[in-house]
Amino acid sequence: MDRVEFDGVTAEQAIAEIRSQGGRRHPGVTGYAEHAARMYLESHQRGEAGMRPVRELWVSQRLTRSVVWELYAWGRRYESVDGRLREFRFLRQGDALADGRDEATAIAIAAYVAAFGNPAVWPNPWSEPFHPSGRTGTERVRVVSVGLADGVVKPLFEGTAADVEDYFAEHGRSQVGEIAAGRDVVPGFGCADCKRVAVCDGPVRTPGLLGLDDSQGPLRTVSVSGLRYYLRCPAQAYLRSVHLPRAYEYSGEAELGQAVHAWLEEAHEAGPDGCRSRPLPPLGSGWSAGTWQVTGDLADAGVRMLAQHAEVCPFREAPEIENVRVEPRLTVFDTTARAIVLAKPDLVYQEAGQWVWRELKSTQKATRFFTDPLRQFPQLALGVVILSAGALGPGGAGRVELEILRPTGAEIVLIDARDDERVDTARTVLRELAAPWRADRTFEARPSNNCQWCPVSRWCPSYPGPHVEGKDHDSRAKPATAFEQ
């Protein structure tokens, strides 16, 4: 967009440039970037005439003796020829409709710098303060977001400078103070890009968690689901990991599984006997939990599964349970593999001081599992290794439990996290999954029948179309060159 708006290059030329730089990024990302550029340009053509693009950032700056305060927003900027109207555009990775609470703060900051900021070029080096100059502020401000997947423009704010002042007072001023104080540590997806990760105590350091001896290359983020996606298709795993917009990917069965999880999560959050005191959804009427809805036969199967849970609930008759965490988001830093590992067990708790990690699986299939559960469900292997490494905090390693709920019964599979053989096997399972993922620098597509259910196939140049015969289609993508993730 900079090339089009500031350098006078045509849209087609700019898109051709995106393509010609392809070797430096994944072809799926290039596909998405092309689409996003077209969508943005289309949305732009529908916009108001007489607005000119602004290259400089709008910066609101305050200098004290010891601190430089600077406020600016990421997005694209436009102003009317007479300078009385400024428009700020957020670019949204997916569709234009988004978010809740945090969005108001982002809007407040964008509106504030548009209303009161000065133009300033990005400082070089970036550690230097901005040098704002030129026209200060404007009379009217508009803030919109543009969805890069669908090109829809969503108005977020429009008003005078005085309106902006009010909006910022409510949604921005104290929030900016909180952000600047930065006391909360929220490890997770952001860690791999964070400059402070080496000194931060947010992610729990667990060298060797994934079983690799060493590794090179940039820090990467992964979960067990990510490694399973990788096994199916490296390109799918990669395009998911960079958060490209995804098509809806849940079958009815998967929706049911999510609803059962959500129902039990809500119940257990209410207290140890929450799942027994909460009335089950009635049969024959459909039900919902969290953001998931189920209807018909699936809904009834789900009610029967929930009814089976009471028999195997960890809180049933265990007075020694403490430190219960329902669906905690765990972030572990394997410094050897150079990987931030994310996990979300369904439940962890301490029983007589020992940590227990529980995963829940709901299924309508009557068949039992015959292979080693650590191999069949690698998230159990991750649980064993995390417990054995003591990464959940003070307390001993206990066991990993797999709770299997069927409409006709419940079952618990127990894995002792103090058993050396189990720990070794868990480590082997993780190493076998993680080693090819960690060594991969191209994440080539592996087109197959799975493509028809792949939620990021839209961006993948190797997508063979909806009708694939057989499993071993050759990739239609150009031979990939290495790029840095």
- Residues forming the site for Zn ion (CB under 5 A): 275, 313
Q: Which amino acid is at 392?
A: L
Nearer to Zn ion, 313 or 385 (CB): 313
Nearer to Zn ion, 275 or 430 (CB): 275
Nearer to Zn ion, 303 or 332 (CB): 303
**Distance between CA atoms of residues 117 and 134, nearest Å:** 10
Nearer to Zn ion, 238 or 357 (CB): 357
Q: Are 441 and 482 in contact (CB under 8 A)?
A: yes
Shortest gap between Cβ of 310 and Zn ion (angstroms)?
7
Residues 36, 40, 42: CA angle, nearest 5 degrees: 120
Nearer to Zn ion, 103 or 411 (CB): 411
Nearer to Zn ion, 87 or 346 (CB): 346
Shortest gap between Cβ of 355 and Zn ion (angstroms)?
18
Nearer to Zn ion, 222 or 275 (CB): 275
How many CB atoms are located within 10 Å of the residue 304 CB?
Answer: 16
Contacts of 67 (CB under 8 A, 6+ apart): none
Shortest gap between Cβ of 274 and Zn ion (angstroms)?
7
- Which residues in 363-460 belong to E strands, given as ranges? 396-406, 409-416
Q: Which amino acid is at 79?
A: E
Place of tokens 């109207």: 85
Shortest gap between Cβ of 351 and Zn ion (angstroms)?
14
Shortest gap between Cβ of 286 and Zn ion (angstroms)?
22
Nearer to Zn ion, 54 or 347 (CB): 347
Q: Tokens standing for 235? A: 């390109």
Shortest gap between Cβ of 276 and Zn ion (angstroms)?
7
Shortest gap between Cβ of 315 and Zn ion (angstroms)?
6
Q: Which amino acid is at 165?
A: E
Shortest gap between Cβ of 414 and Zn ion (angstroms)?
17
Place of tokens 């990302």: 29
**Distance between CA atoms of residues 53 and 1, nearest Å:** 10
**Distance between CA atoms of residues 31 and 33, nearest Å:** 6
CA distances from 250 to 34, 116, 247, 441, 447 (A): 27, 46, 9, 29, 20
- Half-sphere exposure for 96 (CA within 13 Å, toward CB): 17
